């Protein structure tokens, strides 16, 4: 049994009332936003700050307002329009998902968890988020922010385990309000609280609407004693090298020679390794005479 707070109903009310006043005015939260717009936002916002997502999302919605529009674009145009959002394979997965929507669902975003999960590149989180926010299906939506809010308020832990586990899935399901509308809003309210107030490194407990209900706060905010997820620095990594090489290709109107790429990343063994990985991922096409381009 999870140590759910006895005043869980009160916790729901606090967070829902707070969200009604404090929610950020993000464009994909507008009532007229299509399921496709919500789908795009959920994929783009994974592991990426919202401030970086918003201009790219607006650009994509202007260029490709439907799945059919994106499916008709070239993969190279899609990768170029992805810009510096990070994890550019997501751009190709979006293109593949849009193509699948055209082929299997008449150009519409499918409206069930099972059909969403069958799309290329769609995992549990994206499927649940789109089902909830686009179609009103009260599935638990569990991202890093939600996990942190739940384990702090309900279990008194400073942070969640390094990886989502079955116990946390059960906790998220048990914590949802019984009414469908409240459950759907609860998902985004918990997410918003984790992003703005109940942050990982510097939680603003004095500004939290549920500070007097939070098990972690009431326990004196004990430090985390469990395993810690290892993080890799950015400088000098293959991720940085791949990004530098892709940046050159995005900004070029045509194929780019090996010499130009060498200027972007002088470390030859790492550059060649990263070029090979970009080719394997479908993000770059090799051409004769040691030239490279985005996929067409």
What crossing angle do the helices spanning 8-22 and 180-196 adopt, rounded to 10°?
Answer: 70
Judge whether residue 276 has pLDDT over 50: yes
Per-residue pLDDT for 47 more than 90? no
Do 208 and 149 form a contact (C-beta atoms < 8 A)? no
Q: Which residues contact 44 (CB under 8 A, 6 or more apart)?
A: 53, 56, 57, 60, 85, 90
Work out the mean pLDDT of the chain and round it to a whole number: 94
**What is the per-residue pLDDT for 259?**
95
| Whether the predicted pLDDT of 154 surpasses 50 | yes
Q: Is the pLDDT of residue 4 over 70?
A: no
Say if residue 2's pLDDT is above 50.
Answer: no
Please give the pLDDT value at position 6: 47
Neighbours of 175 (CB within 10 A): 22
Q: Say whether 155 is catalytic.
A: no
- DSSP letters, the chain, are -----TTHHHHHHHHHHHHHHH----GGGSTT--HHHHHHHHHHTTTS-HHHHHHHHHHHHHH--SHHHHHHS-HHHHHHHHTTSS-THHHHHHHHHHHHHHHHHTTS---SHHHHHTSTT--HHHHHHHHHHHH--------HHHHHHHHHHHH--SS--SS--HHHHHHHHHHS-SSHHHHHHHHHHHHHHHHHTS-SSS--GGG-TTTTT-HHHHTT-PPP-S-------STTSHHHHHHHHHHHHHH-SS-EEHHHHHHH---HHHHHHHHHHHHHTTS-EEETTTEEE---
pLDDT for position 1: 37
Provide the percentage of residues in the chain whose pLDDT is more than 70.
98
Torsion angle, alpha carbons of 271, 277, 279, 282, to 10: -140
Give pLDDT, residue 114: 96
pLDDT of 190: 97
**Reported confidence tier of residue 146, pLDDT bands at 50, 70, 90:** very high
Residue 230 pLDDT > 80: no
- pLDDT value at 88 more than 50: yes
What would the two tokens of residue 129 be? 């988020």
Q: What is the mean pLDDT of residues 202-223?
A: 95
What is the CATH number assigned to the segment(s) 238-293? 1.10.10
Q: For the segment 179-199, what is each residue's pLDDT rounded down to a tens digit?
A: 999 999 999 999 999 999 999
Residue-wise pLDDT for 277-288, tens only, equals 999 999 999 999
pLDDT of residue 103: 98
CB 191 within 8 A of CB 145: yes
pLDDT digits (tens, 9 = 90+) for 111-125: 999 999 999 999 999
Going from the C-alpha of 275 to that of each of 61, 95, 174, 262, 271, the distances in angstroms are 30, 21, 46, 11, 6
The one catalytic residue among 42, 96, 168, 192: 42
Residue with the bigger pLDDT between 47 and 129: it is: 129
CA distance 2 to 15: 20
Domain boundaries, the chain: 238-293
């Amino acid at each position: 049994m999870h140590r759910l707070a006895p005043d869980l109903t009160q916790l729901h009310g606090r967070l829902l009332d707070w969200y009604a006043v404090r929610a950020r005015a993000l464009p994909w939260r507008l009532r007229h936003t299509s399921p496709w717009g919500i789908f795009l936002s959920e994929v783009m916002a994974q592991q990426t700050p919202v401030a970086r997502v918003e201009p790219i999302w607006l650009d994509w919605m202007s260029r490709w307002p439907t799945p059919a529009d994106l499916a008709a674009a070239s993969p190279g145009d899609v990768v170029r329009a992805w810009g510096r959002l990070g994890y550019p394979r997501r751009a190709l997965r979006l293109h593949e998902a849009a193509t699948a929507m055209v082929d299997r669902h008449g150009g519409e975003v499918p409206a069930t968890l099972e059909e969403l999960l069958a799309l290329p590149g769609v995992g549990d989180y994206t499927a649940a988020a789109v089902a909830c926010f686009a179609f009103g299906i009260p599935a638990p939506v569990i991202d890093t922010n939600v996990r942190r809010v739940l384990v702090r308020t309900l279990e008194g832990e400073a942070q969640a385990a390094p990886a989502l586990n079955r116990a946390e899935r059960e906790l998220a399901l048990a914590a949802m309000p019984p009414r469908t509308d409240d459950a759907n809003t609860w998902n985004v309210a918990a997410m918003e609280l984790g992003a703005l107030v109940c942050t990982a490194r510097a939680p603003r407990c004095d500004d939290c609407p549920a500070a007097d209900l939070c098990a972690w706060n009431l326990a004196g905010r004990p430090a985390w004693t469990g395993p810690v997820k290892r993080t890799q620095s950015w400088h000098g990594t293959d991720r940085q090298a791949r990004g530098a090489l892709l940046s050159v290709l995005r900004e070029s109107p045509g194929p780019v020679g090996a010499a130009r790429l060498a200027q972007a990343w002088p470390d030859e063994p790492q550059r060649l390794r990263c070029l090979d990985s970009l080719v394997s991922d479908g993000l770059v096409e090799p051409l004769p005479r040691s030239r490279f381009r985005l996929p067409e």
